[in-house]
Amino acid sequence: MSKVNDVVIKVATVNGTGSASANGLLMKSIFRMGIPVVGKNFFPSNIQGLPTWYEVRVTGDGHQSRADRIDVMIAMNAQTYERDMAEVTPGGWLIYDSTWPRSKLLDRKDITVLGIPLSRMCNERFDGVRARILMKNIAYVGAIAALLDIDLDVIKTLLEQTFASKKHLVASNLEAIMLGYNYAQEQFDCPLPPRLEAMDKTKGHIIVDGNTAAGLGCVYAGATVGAWYPITPSTSVMDAYKSFCKQYRMDEETDGKKFCIIQAEDELAAIGVVLGASWNGARAFTPTSGPGISLMSEFIGFAYYAELPAVIFDIQRTGPSTGMPTRTQQCDLMSCAYASHGDTKHVLLFPANPEECFYMAVNAFDLADRLQTPVMVLSDIDIGMNDWMCPDLKWDENYQPDRGKVLNAEQIESMEKFYRYLDVDGDGIPYRTLPGEHPKGAFFTRGSGHNKYGGYTEDSHEYQEVVDRLLVKWETARKIVPEPEIAYSKFNKTAIVSLGSCDGAVKEALSILEEKNIGLNYCRIKAFPFGDAVRDFIDQHDEIYVVEQNRDAQLRSLLMLDAGIPQTKIQPMLHYNGMPLDASFVVDSVLAEIAKGRAA
Amino acid sequence: MSYIAKPNVSHPKAPKNELGLTERDYEGVVSTLCAGCGHDSVTAAIIQAVFELGIEPYKMCKISGIGCSSKTPAYFASQSHGFNSVHGRMPSVTTGANAANSALTYIGVSGDGDSLSIGMGQFAHVIRRNLDMCYVIENNGVYGLTKGQYSATADVGTVGKKGPANKQMPIDPVSTAIGLGATYIARGFSGAKEQLVPLIKGAIMHKGFALLDVISPCVTFNDHEGSTKSYAHTREHYHRVIKTDFVRPSEEIVAAYEAGDTMPIKLHDGSKIVFRRVDKDYDPTSRAAAFSYLRDSVNAGEIITGLLYIDEETGDMHDLSGSVSEPLSKIPYEELNPGADQLASLMDQYR
Ligand SMILES: Cc1ncc(C[n+]2csc(CCOP(=O)(O)OP(=O)(O)O)c2C)c(N)n1
Ligand code: SF4
Ligand SMILES: [Mg+2]
């Protein structure tokens, strides 16, 4: 193992000890050396004292997913030392705090174990319990810098920028870095074979998590009302929205807020607030996760039937019920697609990375307004809370929000009479008016049976006329939602269909398979309902592997239900243990399928 | 069509308000409630109140939950936007509506089941926000629309049509609202329109959360002997602790009020609520006093009515959160979008 810029480092610490900033420093230093890097956080559903891990994949080739190996383990947590050691890939390295002796029983002959007395060095140099703990974490970054050949100047500049307002912290952090750095230089043969070398591959890129990007997207989309009830892992969407609003949305003269954030009593109220606000002309959204979707369902059905725009971010987490709230999955596809009782179905968007979270957030508001219906953006923990390298986000100054068919006072004035639910244009989308706009614009919004004029009805024909028109609108949605990303390897009849955060792993798997002369085509679905491009793609193939992160093959079910794909044609490839997908799972699954086919 | 539109012709000599509209202009479609239902009288009182206040119908929103009571927004102000939402969730919809546009008038109509059973959480939290709205509970002690089950306001000992007497403690919306910090709290009776109309007017003009608990008998399921929410029982135990008049800014307070007994309170728009105390010791600006008075009256089996508490000082939701005064939904997009340059410079923070 002597590759340059291809190494996976995993740091095992205890949550609440400030290791996040040390890991951020490590990530960014590598990124600033121009080397693509992926950061994945594995944290417990707990505030302090439990094991937490951070995985840094240095990938000169620019892969986006996690790798299924650990080259360098930094074992800072005695509690998990044994399993952390077991996880190191043969030939790898383990670094531990040698202040205390470790059990002789725990050893491996196939890896190199390096002890650094991090606690002792920090206890000698720093005062105070808290500072000692924090600095111990910074010190391992210094050791890694020596072992992997990370540019010290880059680290120095980063620290100066990070602590620009607290100068004294620059010196102490740097001192801690040097403790680790010098010790490693003196005691070990630095750098290790898997070392880093500056590149030029991160220009025009940023490191960001999907929730930050989604919150920023809401600001750029012009959303003024955000309602929510805190739930991991969606909380940071609202945190981001709030901090960007404070930066960009304060009135210069009065210091008044041009936004209103309502921390509701629960998710039922959060979605109610969103519907009230969008009914009244604001762009409104709510971030949540699976349990919140369950609670919102009655209102989501209301919005579908009464035809109100709403933007909902579902940052999916693992499992039914509370499940594993800090692990990732794509397990809400079905519950979102058909949320609520009665005949309902909803538009879904599937971002694959933070960059798409930003642009799809904006697109979600346009679609919700255009279609007058809830639009749900299905992200997940992997996208939402992990650090991704993405191209710079850019804004097109010519963008104007599509507020859909909202009549202004002049238009209402010129009408004989306004009726809410008429399909004037044949696209299934009626016109709407806003309260307070014009005396002739009033109508009654209701979830009870209504006819196309907006009046209450219990008449079978009148009821059916409206719900049938909603199907016309569904077909319009199919035409205007984002198209899939499609890639053909070479002419063949087998393909992978996938979505969202599977993308990085699938792409990496495709390139690995390509090297084995197995060419697969690829379609990454970006939205539900499925447009013609998805159906056409599937029609061109004899066999499709559907890669997704849930137990019940939910994307596959949707393909059967909405695109009429025969069950026999689509093979599920399911990853649902709560960890982000990696390429080897896909490669192994494909090879197994091929082997099965040959045996048959 | 299965809904009935009323012919909109009014008598040429019908009185007009300052907008030149007649009371007819504030009516809705024909009610489909049972004949004699208290809710229809509340509807009539709302119509009179908004007509007399001269509110532009299209600048008013009527929002409700689910129940016979929640159906009534269809029966008044057909020129206003209505939102008949889902059961127990009117407060959140109204919160969002007001968040988007603080310049409109919000009337929420709910029932005792809608607000105090399924909607208890939302009822409590909209009060905490001091949302600027008039919140009417049409309180009949039962779930009318699902055919007469006891609701959370059913008194201990009241006897339902079908079953044994209720044994569970009732939730009193008025004392609950006092405890939760509501800033305008009143109780009326659907059978006493002349008292109800000024209470509604005050509730609409109050800036902040105004609760109006209206005893509104359900003639079909809860108007029999043994019921404590029947017309007969309410008339017998009804006690006006305070007489309340509502005075527009343009009107002079007539001298008929005797000093000491009257107490004018100024609302944010300059109009006034004038209290005439029946009980000299009652102070509608003291939360503690109102609370203990209510407790005593409940123990005495009295139904205390009138404007029981008012606080004109506390800011509404937008004041508390520091919103700009312009309605958020009216701010031009250009002012909401930070633009390409800001985004470009923001990117440097993520490297
Ligand atoms: C989620 C849900 N559960 C139950 C119902 C059935 N339901 C309709 S109205 C109602 C009770 C209404 O009682 P109240 O608010 O007191 O109104 P009233 O009819 O007495 O005026 C119930 C339980 C419903 N519509 N929605
Ligand atoms: S059932 Fe009761 S509450 Fe409902 S309309 Fe009839 S009288 Fe009114
Ligand atoms: Mg009731």
Q: Which domains does chain A have, with CATH numbers?
A: 6-201 (3.40.920.10), 208-391 (3.40.50.970), 409-480 (no CATH), 485-599 (3.40.50.920)
A599 pLDDT above the threshold of 90 = no
pLDDT, position B281: 72
Q: For chain B, how many structural domains are there in total?
A: 1
B87 lines ligand 1 (CB under 6 A): yes
pLDDT, position B257: 43
Tell me, rounded to whole angstroms, the distance of Cα B118 from its chain centroid: 18
pLDDT (tens digit, 9 = 90+) per residue, A413-438? 999 999 999 999 999 999 999 999 99
Residue A395 Cα, gap to closest chain B Cα (Å): 5
Give the residue among B170, B214, B239, B197 at the shortest CA–CA distance from B37. B214
Contacts of B96 (CB under 8 A, 6+ apart): A225, A227, A262, A272, A273, A274, A275, A276, A277, A278, A279, A280, A282, A284
B142 lines ligand 1 (CB under 6 A): yes
Q: Which two tokens stand for residue A346?
A: 């909803």
Average pLDDT, integer, range A261-267:
98
Look up the CATH number of the domain holding residue B265. 3.40.50.970
Confidence of residue B338 (pLDDT cuts 50, 70, 90): very high
B38 lines ligand 1 (CB under 6 A): no
User: What is the extent of the structural domain holding B145?
Assistant: 23-316
pLDDT, position B304: 87
pLDDT (tens digit, 9 = 90+) per residue, A56-103? 999 999 999 999 999 999 999 989 999 999 999 999 999 999 998 887
Judged by CB atoms closer than 8 Å, whether chains meet at B336 and A434 is answered as no
Contacts of B166 (CB under 8 A, 6+ apart): B150, B154, B155, B156, B157, B158, B159, B160
Least-confidence region, from A87-91, B258-262, B278-282 = B258-262
- Top-confidence residue, B244 or A231: A231
A124 pLDDT above the threshold of 60 = yes
Judged by CB atoms closer than 8 Å, whether chains meet at A281 and B329 is answered as yes
* A534-to-A92, A562, B43 alpha-carbon distances in Å: 43, 11, 53
pLDDT (tens digit, 9 = 90+) per residue, A468-515? 999 999 999 999 999 999 999 877 899 999 999 999 999 999 999 999
Q: Does the residue B1 lie in any domain?
A: no
Judged by CB atoms closer than 8 Å, whether chains meet at A272 and B351 is answered as no
Q: Does the residue B10 lie in any domain?
A: no
ipTM of the assembly?
Answer: 0.95
Is A544 in a helix, a strand, or coil? strand
Q: Are A239 and A287 in contact (CB under 8 A)?
A: no
Judged by CB atoms closer than 8 Å, whether chains meet at B329 and A222 is answered as no
Cα(B93)–Cα(A118) distance, rounded to whole angstroms? 56
Query: What spacing in Å lies between the alpha carbon of B39 and ligand 3's midpoint?
Result: 10
Nearest CA in chain B to A257: B323
Is A527 in a helix, a strand, or coil? strand
Q: Does the residue B8 lie in any domain?
A: no
Strand boundaries in A297-343, DSSP class E: 310-316
Q: Which two tokens stand for residue A227?
A: 């309602």
pLDDT (tens digit, 9 = 90+) per residue, A391-402? 999 999 999 999
Q: Which two tokens stand for residue A113?
A: 């174990």
Nearest CA in chain A to B29: A455
Is A483 in a helix, a strand, or coil? coil
B260 pLDDT above the threshold of 60 = no
Q: Does the residue B344 lie in any domain?
A: no
* A155-to-A96, A132, A138, A178, B266 alpha-carbon distances in Å: 22, 20, 11, 11, 64
Average pLDDT, integer, range B279-285:
78
Confidence of residue B146 (pLDDT cuts 50, 70, 90): very high
pLDDT (tens digit, 9 = 90+) per residue, B24-71? 999 999 999 999 999 999 999 999 999 999 999 999 999 999 999 999
pLDDT (tens digit, 9 = 90+) per residue, A364-406? 999 999 999 999 999 999 999 999 999 999 999 999 999 999 9
> In this complex, is the C-beta atom of B4 within 8 Å of any C-beta atom belonging to chain A?
no
Q: For residue B143, list its beta bridge partners.
A: B149
Confidence of residue B278 (pLDDT cuts 50, 70, 90): low
Average pLDDT, integer, range A112-121:
96
Average pLDDT, integer, range B156-165:
89
Residue A67 Cα, gap to closest chain B Cα (Å): 23
Pairing of strands B184-189, B303-310: antiparallel
Q: Does the residue B338 lie in any domain?
A: no
Q: How many CB atoms lie within 10 A of CB B252?
A: 7
pLDDT (tens digit, 9 = 90+) per residue, A22-36? 999 999 999 999 999
pLDDT (tens digit, 9 = 90+) per residue, B187-236? 999 999 999 999 999 999 999 999 999 999 999 999 999 999 999 999 99
Confidence of residue B301 (pLDDT cuts 50, 70, 90): confident
| Residue % of chain A over a pLDDT of 90 | 92
Contacts of A398 (CB under 8 A, 6+ apart): none
- pTM of the shown model: 0.96
The pick from B110, B114, B221, B230 for probing ligand 2's pocket by mutation, whose C-beta has the most ligand atoms within 8 angstroms, reads B221
* B160-to-A237, B151, B154, B170 alpha-carbon distances in Å: 50, 10, 9, 14
pLDDT (tens digit, 9 = 90+) per residue, B77-132? 999 999 999 999 999 999 999 999 999 999 999 999 999 999 999 999 999 999 99
Cα(B185)–Cα(B178) distance, rounded to whole angstroms? 7
pLDDT (tens digit, 9 = 90+) per residue, B5-21? 565 566 778 899 999 99
